[in-house]
Amino acid sequence: MKAVALFLACCLLVACANLIGPRTHEIPLTRLQEVLDKHFAKTHRVLPLIDIQLGKPQLALVPEQGRVTLTLNPTVSPPLSNQSWSGNLVVSGRLVIDASRNTVSISEARVDRLVFDGVDAQQLGLITKVANVIADKVIKDMPVFNFRPEELRFAGVQFVPTHIQITPTALVVTLETAK
């Protein structure tokens, strides 16, 4: 009799979970920007002996392309030189859900624009290599949002992120009941 009651209780819980259905979680651009500010607050070593400071990251959501753009003001310090170069770098990427880490991350990062004034062709060649390394090693697969466990539970039901919609001011993530 207890087994039947337990089975019926489990069936009721599953039925209630299915009635709850998908939910949405809105992540404002300001919250995404806070994550990026922390991530880029340090110096990155991108090639042997080349340090780069990626200052003032600015994230923009581009819903019509299904992408995000990240504008940075990098300062490159080449090896064996007292000189450094500052410029402007724009990298774009597609947002994906990494279900194993419960994050929204940037994928398919690519350099869209690179501007450094006052550098010669050889220096620009080195800076271009550095920019491509930044897109591939620093930005690609970089989380822009981490879900907290309580954001993925509602009424005792566990949810998983399944879809991202980009709006001009926020990401809207669809959460579905965990199977």
Q: What is the CATH number of the domain that holds 105?
A: 3.15.10.40
162 within domain boundaries: no
Q: Per the structure block, which two tokens stand in for 94?
A: 């597609």
Mean pLDDT of 122-146: 86
pLDDT of 8 reads: 55
54 within domain boundaries: yes
Q: Which residue shows structure tokens 């398919």?
A: 108
46 within domain boundaries: yes
For residue 61, which of 164, 166, 144, 143 has the smallest C-alpha distance?
166
116 within domain boundaries: yes
Query: What distance in Å separates the CA atoms of residue 161 and residue 171, rounded to the nearest whole number?
Result: 12
Res. 128 pLDDT band, cuts 50 70 90:
confident
44 within domain boundaries: yes
pLDDT of 9 reads: 56
Q: Per the structure block, which two tokens stand in for 89?
A: 């770098």
**pLDDT of 19 higher than 70:** no
21 within domain boundaries: no
Backbone angles phi, psi at 19, to 5 degrees: -70, -30
User: What digits encode the pLDDT tens for the residues 43-73?
Assistant: 767 666 677 788 789 999 999 999 999 999 9
Residue 63: which residues within 8 A CB-CB, separation 6 or more?
Answer: 165, 166, 167, 168
Q: Which domain holds residue 33?
A: 29-147
Domain count for the chain: 1
**pLDDT of 15 higher than 80:** no
pTM of the model: 0.79
71 within domain boundaries: yes
Backbone angles phi, psi at 170, to 5 degrees: -165, 165
Res. 74 pLDDT band, cuts 50 70 90:
confident
Q: For all residues of the chain together, what is the average pLDDT?
A: 84
112 within domain boundaries: yes
